[in-house]
Amino acid sequence: MDTVKKENNPVYSHKDPTPVNMTDEQWKKILSKDVYDVARMKGTERPGSSPYEHSKEIGTFYCAVCGNPLFRSDTKFESGCGWPSFYEPISKGSIIYAADHSYGMDRTEVMCGRCKSHLGHVFKDGPPPTGLRYCINGVVLDFGSGVQGDEGKIPPFTRDV
Ligand SMILES: [Zn+2]
């Protein structure tokens, strides 16, 4: 069990696009261990462990580290891969990409466009219209229900993983 206290996170915002640059030491003080390990140490959560994997709720998925909007629920699909999967990010700038050759594999890492936190990887075996599968660690996602642009305030943090 792990809970992130948003009140302790001075950069968390759904509206502020200003890039966030903090050191790992600073992040360590703000983030829970689970989030820190994935977001800053490029870890991977256990497959099947995220309640978001099979969530069908309508809303927006945000970066759990900085609040940046990342994916809309209507681009989410059941990939069966064990992690929440999306075929398209919310906007071009919401995600940044990097070649990842770790573990002897050729993969494309996806990171938050605002705080550069590790989110997961993107693969080319997704459904139309993009053919892409953004395979994302649920622990670095925050979900806000409701129509996009209608969220207003930061939703109460409800993750309990
Ligand atoms: Zn972020």
Q: How far is the CA of 61 from the centre of ligand 1 (A)?
A: 11
Kindly state whether residue 159 falls inside one of the protein's structural domains: no
Q: Is residue 158 part of a domain?
A: no
**Structurally, how many domains does the chain consist of?**
1
Going from the Cα of 156 to the center of ligand 1, the distance in angstroms, rounded, reads 18
What residue numbers bound the domain in which 48 lies? 11-145
- Residue spans of alpha helices (H) in 4-103: 24-30, 33-39
Q: How far is the CA of 108 from the centre of ligand 1 (A)?
A: 18
Distance 64 CA to ligand 1 centre (A): 7
Residues 6+ apart with CB under 8 A from 61: 52, 69, 70, 71, 72, 73, 76, 84, 86, 136, 141, 142, 143
Question: pLDDT value at position 121?
Answer: 98
CATH code of 90's domain: 2.170.150.20
Tokens of 71: 């994916």
For every one of its 161 residues, what pLDDT tens digit does the chain have, with 9 covering 90 and above? 344 557 789 999 999 999 999 999 999 999 999 999 999 999 999 999 999 999 999 999 999 999 999 999 999 999 999 999 999 999 999 999 999 999 999 999 999 999 999 999 999 999 999 999 999 999 999 999 986 554 444 444 444 43
In-domain check, residue 155: no
Taking the CA atoms of the chain, what radius of gyration do you get in angstroms? 14
Q: Give a yes or no: residue 45 inside a domain.
A: yes
Of 63, 112, 115, 135, which residue is the catalytic one?
Answer: 135
135 is catalytic: yes
